[in-house]
Amino acid sequence: MQSSTPRSHKISIKENIRFALITVSTSRFEKYGRARSPQEAEDLSGDRMYTKVKDNGHEVISYSLVPDDTVFIRDLISRMIDEDVDVIVTSGGTGLSPDDVTIEAISPLFHKEIHGFGEYFRYLSIGQIGSSVVLTRACAGIVGNKVIFCLPGSPNAVDLAFSEVILPEAGHILKHVGKVA
C-alpha cells in the first residue's frame, strides 16, 4: 500500500514554475552562435524541453546555447541564479568524453545535491538504453532556492527526465527549498 505522505507533501506546491533552459554543445554553438530559441539553433532536445515546459502550463524565461566550456557554463549558471527563474535545466555535456564538462562546471555550485534525481533517472533509463546507463552522469542540485537539473543531450533523455521526474517533482522540490508562491 502506497503511503499518502508524498501526496500530502505536494499540497501547496508552486504551480507556475519559471524555467531557464540551456543546451550545451560546442558543435551547435560554433554553427549557430548565441541562438535565443531552440528553433534558431535546430536544437531538437532544446525544443523538446521548451515544449514540455509550455505544454504543462509553466513558463520559459530564457533559452541559451553554450559551448562545452567550464568557464562559459559556470558564468551563465551564475547569472541565471540571479535571474527570476525557479528551475534551470541543462541538456548536454554529461557523458564521459573529455569535452563533457557540464557536471564539472555546475556541481561545485550546488549547496545540496539531489542524489535521488540521478539515481531515479538512471533507473528509468535502463528500459531505453540498457547497461549504457552507466555512461550518464545526469545530476541535480540546489543553489540558494533554485533547482538545477543537468541532463544528457539526447531527445529521449530529455523526454524521460521531463515527463517522469522534472515536471512531476519540480514544484515539490521548490516547496522544500522554500520557494512557494
pLDDT tens per residue across span 9-36 = 555 566 799 999 999 999 999 999 999 8
Give the burial class of 41: count Cβ atoms within 10 A of its Cβ; 0-12 exposed, 13-18 middle, 19 or more buried.
Answer: buried
DSSP β-bridge partners for residue 150: 90, 139
Closest CA to 158 of 62, 45, 47, 50: 45
Topology, domain 21-176: Molybdenum Cofactor Biosythetic Enzyme; Chain A (3.40.980)
Give the burial class of 4: count Cβ atoms within 10 A of its Cβ; 0-12 exposed, 13-18 middle, 19 or more buried.
Answer: exposed
Paired sense of beta strands 146-151 and 139-143, if any = antiparallel
| Span 107-166, pLDDT tens digits | 999 999 999 999 999 999 999 999 999 999 999 999 999 999 999 999 999 999 999 999
The span from the CA of 5 to the CA of 77, in Å, is: 33
Q: Which residues contact 11 (CB under 8 A, 6 or more apart)?
A: none
With a pLDDT cut of 90, the percent of the chain lying above it is 87
